[in-house]
Structures are given as structure tokens and as C-alpha cells.
A and B are shown apart, each in its own frame.
Chain A
Amino acid sequence: MARTKSKYRIGKMTTIDYIIFVLMLVIALFILIPFWNVIMISFSTPKEYADNPLMMFPKNPTLDSYKALFADGSIFRGYWNTLKLLIVGLPLSLFLTSSMAYGLSRNKFPGKKIIFFLVLFTMIFNGGIVPLYLVMKSLHLTGSLWSVILAGSFSAFNMILMMNYFQSLPESLMESARLDGAGEWRILFSVVLPLAMPIMATITLFYGVAYWNSWYDAMIFLRKAEQLPLQNVLRSIIVESTTNASNASSVDAVGKQGFSTGMKMAAVVVTMVPIMCFFPMLQKHFAKGVLTGAIKT
């Protein structure tokens, strides 16, 4: 972003700058207001929501919706299952991705092009869900959280991002480590990875978000309700119970539905909060990581 330093950036604000600013502000509010509304509904009483669905500030904030939600217990189970996914899946993903990315970023060896093509090909073509399901079944992984972990533990796109970043590191570093007698694995862990924090943070964010948001694999591979990750629990709370509610207009439904709306919104908030916390922290890394990873032509 050398551009911010150039003359182009300096100077007085003109009309066009104000117009752009206002436009951006409107777009940002367009994004923020729905979230604000959801959060506020989760803190309001059913009656207040029924009276005033616009709800920007509840007069009597209450935690009732959250209490009712947690009393159910399924949210906790979902959280725990998602945590298991992250604890096992993230290190595995980073291991698979970085070892392969480092291997492929190293100068040349016989078969490199073929292996790279094999990775690349998975980005434009895949077997689809039925063969994957049958493979999981024949490996006796269906019905276990491992199926969800393994299905999501490698992404060709992330590998290529990381590979491009590794290629931007000076070869002389690895060369001198090699002269000191370090093996390739040693070089990966003690030379390359410490130098690659921006891309590591980015890829961790990508895999982390993918695990956090995964639900389709779980819906297909898992059988018992108590194994399901958080997203599936959330889905059963909001989507499945809303199927008929969106056209429910009868007056007597309002009171009861108001309460469940609060609970649903509390569930949305609870599922969203970790991403809200981590995302701004990691964002500065991924801007840098994606830039160096993707735009190296």
C-alpha cells in the first residue's frame, strides 16, 4: 500500500471525497443494522419485541432468552463438538498444508509438476458427495467426528496460497540451513514457518472459519444428534423451526413466537460471537497474507 504515501492521497477533502464517505457509511450501516437488530432482540423481552419489532435499544434488557437457550443444553453440546473439530482439525490441516506447500515450493525435483497438477485438479473437479460418503463409509468413519475433520483438513486453494508465500522467501535461507546440516522437515519448522507468520495466520483463519462453519459434512456423515457441531444445532433451532413461521400471521402466534424469536436470535449471537472476536484481530494479517500469497504473478 505504497499508494497511501503518494501525493495522490494527500490534500484537502473535496466534494467527491465526502460523497464517497457517505456512500460507504450507508453501505456499512446496511451491513451493521441487521446484526444490531438481532443482538438487541436477543436481549429484549418477548412482549417488548412484539410491540416494537424495530428494536434498536430495548428498554428493559434481559438475559431470559439466553437462559432459556442454555437450559436446553444442545448449544453446549454443539460448542463442545465444534471445539473438538478445531482442536484436532486445525493442527492437522496446518500440518498437511504447510508440509505439502513447502515441499512444492522447493526448487525442482522429478515429478513436481505432476504432483502440483494433482493438487490443482481437485480445485476444478471432484467426486461429489456420494462417492465421498461411500469412501468414508468403507473406511468406517461415518458416524464419527473424524469424518468431518478429515473431509475438511486439506484445501488446494489454501495450499497454493501458502506455496506462493513460501516461494517469496529467499532461497539462500534454506540453503544455509542445509549447509548447517538441517533436514527438510527441520527447515520447515525452524526456518520457514517462523518467517511465514502472516500466511500462517491467514490460513489458520481460513481453516478455523471453515471448521467453525461446517455443517453439510456433519449432516451427512454423522448419525446421532449429540455428535452434531454447533452450526447444525443452530440450524435445527432457527431454520427448521422457522419453515412455517415466516408466513405465520395469526395474532395468537405472535406472543409465543416472540419468545422463540428471542431464543433463536440468542442462538445466532452465541454462534457468531467467536468469529466477531477473532476476525478483527486476524484481519490485518490476512490482508497481508492474501496479498503476498495471491498477487505474486
Chain B
Amino acid sequence: MKPAALGPDKDPKERKHNGSILTEIWKHKMTYTLLIPGLIWLILFAYLPMGGLSLAFKHYKANLGIWGSPWVGLENFTYVFRDPTFIDALWRTLYINIIKLVIQFPFPIILAVLLNELRMRRTKKLFQTVLTFPHFLSWIIVSGVVINVLSYDGLVNSSLALLGLPTINFLGSEKTFIPMLLLTDIWKSTGWGAIIYLAAISGIDQDQYESAQIDGASRMQQMFRITLPNILPTVTIMFILSVGGLMSSGFDQIFNLANAATKNVSEVLDVYIYRITFQSSTDFSFSTAVSLFRSVVNMVLLLLADRVAKWMGGDGLFR
């Protein structure tokens, strides 16, 4: 598995023809020292926790630790799938993320094309700065802003009242909470999402536009016949990545925007895992089983989406 876009250059002379593997390793001993700090980090904070996933198949006892606790096979998983709150959280997560995937996905593409069509260079830069800014703020800050603007006596409701329209309790009612998740996420992330497409657009060969203009193609035609087809590989990769996140993501947003009134619609899988791990009970084996299930499904979805993209003739994520 090697990414098409990100992997190191492939070298045809990969196989060395002189010396054994040991002399080759010795020759590069300096290079290995460069890798040691990073590898130590990976082992401690990425791979050791992955080993800790074995807890999902154990009965965790604090005094015995991860490695000493007794194995129980799939027992934790049978409990997980019998828990109705888990099943609810699972469907809710998929529901919210599929809605987000379908509705939100095109926004950055549209924005990138529009920004690209903007002829004034300085203005374009300025717009870009303004639009990407929310991405760099935490959901805590953004929820502060959002709660203020959407609250009962906030900007939006005051404007509605001024226009003689009925006010809406946007974040305080179950009906409007999920649309608000979608709206606030679009607000926060569209500008940043557009950057990657803008980069792809700037990589398009200029000759294509010039010859299209000679043939008398309009701006619209150039947009649909040149710009969009050319960024399709980037679109595919972004789509695969989004599909791979269908079971997670959104924790920060939901955790910070939710309140007592929206408790029933805001418990997605991540919130559920957090709650059963650190708030209600402390059954680490049970919650590890839940998060292992989530990670595996995410990975399978990612690989599936990659397969489908390649099957349809596009560039996948992996070679």
C-alpha cells in the first residue's frame, strides 16, 4: 500500500548489486540516526496504543494492567452490540456524517472555482484569508461565536424579530440541531477545503485554456470542460478520505455545541465513547471494543472507497 500522490519516489535502481544487506545498512548508519527520534515517538505513542487495543478482547483489571489482564475472547463485543445506546449512537453517527458528506462535499469545490474566476488578485488573496480563518480556530472558540450568534437573544434571532418573523431556538431544539451542525461546519471548513482544490486548479496547464479561448469557449464552458475535469482526481481523493471518516469526526463540534436540550440527538459514537470511558462507567475493555469497532469500520470504508474509485477508472489513494 503506497499512496499515489504522497509516496517517496520510486527508484528503478532500488536493488543494489554490490555488497550484502549488512554493508548497505552500515553505509547508511547516519541516515538511520535521523529516523530514531521519530521512530521512538511512533512506537511509544502510536504502536504501543495499537497493541493496547488487545484490551477489547480482555477483561481489564487496573491492578494487572493491559498485558496482564485475562483474555475473554469476543465477550466485550457481544455486550457492545446488545447495548441499545450504542446502536442509537452508531446510526446517528452514520446519519449525520452521510448528510454532511452529501450536502457539504461540493461547497469547497464551488468556492475554489469561484475564487479562481475572481480576476482581482489582491481581492482574491483577501477573500482567501477571510474564508480560511475559521478553520484555524478551535471548535470551542467557534462554538462561543456560534452560540452567541444563534442564541435566543443573539444576532440572528434579533434580526428575525426585527423583520417581524418568528424567532427560532436554533441550538436548543432537537429539530434544528442537526441542520445547525451542517451549517456551522460548512461555515468553518469550506474556505480551508477550497485551498486544496485551488492548488489543483493552479496546476492545470495554461495551454488548455488558451486553445479553448481561441476556439471561442466561454468562461462557463472553460469552467465545466477544463477546470472541473482537471481537478477530478483531487475530488476523488478528497471523497475517499471523507468516506473513511464516516464513523468518526465531528466530536469537537458536537461536544461543544450540544446542550441538555439536544442530548437525544447529539450522542454520536465519539461522544458515546467519551461518556462511557470517562464519565459514567470506567469499563475500559468495553469502550476499547467500541472504538476498535469504529476504527476498523472506518478503515474498511476507506479501502472500499479506494477500490470503487479505481474500479471507476479514477486515481485511488493507494497504488
- Using a CB–CB cutoff of 8 Å, the interface residues on chain A facing chain B are 1-4, 6-9, 13, 16-17, 20-21, 23-24, 27-28, 30-35, 37-38, 41, 50, 53-55, 95-97, 99-100, 102-113, 115-120, 122, 124-132, 134-135, 138-139, 150-151, 153-154, 159-160, 163-164, 167, 183-185, 188, 209, 212-213, 215-216, 220, 231, 234-235, 238-239, 242-249, 254, 261, 264-265, 267-268, 271-272, 275-276, 279-280, 283, 287, 290-291, 294-295, 297
Chain A residues whose C-beta falls within 8 Å of the C-beta of B37 in the assembled complex: 95-96, 99-100
Are B141 and A272 within 8 A (Cβ)? yes
User: Could you say which residues of chain B place their CB within 8 Å of the CB of A16?
Assistant: 117, 219
Chain B 253-278 against A: per-residue CB contact (8 Å), 1 yes, 0 no?
00010011100000000000110011
A109 close to B32 (CB less than 8 A): yes
Interface bits B41-83 vs A (CB < 8 Å: 1, else 0) = 1101111111111010000000001100000000000000000
**Contacts A102-B34, A245-B151, A275-B136 known; A9 to B119 CB distance under 8 Å?**
yes
Q: How far is the CB of B104 from chain A (nearest CB, A)?
A: 15
Are A110 and B28 closer than 8 Å at their CB atoms? yes
9 additional A-B residue pairs with CB within 8 Å, beyond A184-B33, A242-B151: A3-B206, A6-B210, A31-B131, A99-B38, A128-B292, A130-B55, A135-B52, A234-B144, A265-B148
Please determine whether B172 and A2 come into contact, CB atoms closer than 8 angstroms.
no
A131 touches B288 (CB 8 A): yes
Q: Which of A124, A125, A131, A150 contacts B66 (CB 8 A)?
A: A131
Known pairs A8-B210, A246-B169; A135 contacts B287 (CB<8 A): no
In the complex formed, the residue of B with least CB distance to A118 is B42
State how many angstroms separate the Cβ of A205 from the closest Cβ of chain B: 8
In B287-319, the 8 Å CB interface with A consists of: 287-288, 291-292, 294-295, 298-299, 302
The 8 closest A-B pairs by CB, nearest first: A131-B52, A127-B49, A100-B38, A103-B34, A213-B138, A128-B291, A109-B28, A131-B49
A91 and B138 CA atoms in complex are apart in Å by 22
Cβ of B291 and Cβ of A183 under 8 Å apart? Answer: no
Partner of A116, one of B8, B33, B128, B132: B8
Contact residues in A for B120 (Cβ distance below 8 Å): 21
Chain A residue nearest to B24 (CB atoms) is A110
In the complex, residue of chain A having the shortest beta-carbon distance to the beta carbon of B196: A294
The CA of A17 and the CA of B123, in the complex, are separated in Å by 12
Closest to A183 in B: B30
Contact A125 B299 (CB under 8 A): yes
Closest-by-CB residue of A relative to B244 is A124
- B9-32 to A contact mask, C-beta < 8 Å, 1/0: 101001000000100110110111
* CB–CB B49/A54 < 8 A: no
**In the complex, what residues of B have CB within 8 A of residue A209's CB?**
136
A280: chain B residues at CB < 8 Å are 129
> Once the chains bind, are A135 and B49 in contact (CB under 8 Å)?
yes
Residues of chain B lying within 8 A (CB to CB) of residue A21 = 118, 120, 123
Give 13 CB contacts A-B under 8 Å.
A13-B119, A31-B134, A33-B155, A53-B154, A109-B31, A120-B6, A126-B295, A135-B45, A150-B41, A151-B45, A154-B41, A215-B140, A283-B128
The A contact surface, by secondary structure, is helix
Instruction: Determine if A247 and B8 form an interchain contact, defined as CB atoms under 8 angstroms apart.
Output: no
Measured in the bound complex, the distance between the Cα atoms of B122 and A21 in whole Å is 12
Interface residues of B in 160-187 (CB under 8 A from A): 162, 169, 171-172, 187
Assess A122 versus B42: contact at CB under 8 Å? Given A17-B119, A54-B162: yes
User: B277 to A129, Cβ gap below 8 A?
Assistant: yes
Bound state CA distance, A106 and B29, in angstroms? Answer: 13
Given contacts A99-B34, A115-B35, A184-B34, contact A20 B24 (CB under 8 A): no
Which one of B39, B49, B149, B203 contacts A126 once the chains associate, using CB atoms below 8 Å? Answer: B49
Instruction: Decide if B46 touches A126 in the complex (CB within 8 Å).
Output: yes
Q: Given A135-B45, A246-B169, A268-B145, are A290 and B199 also a contact pair (CB < 8 Å)?
A: yes
Per-residue A-contact encoding for B146-161, CB less than 8 Å = 1, 0 else: 1111011111001100
User: Considering only CB atoms, which chain B residue lies closest to A160 in the complex?
Assistant: B6
Contact residues in A for B159 (Cβ distance below 8 Å): 54
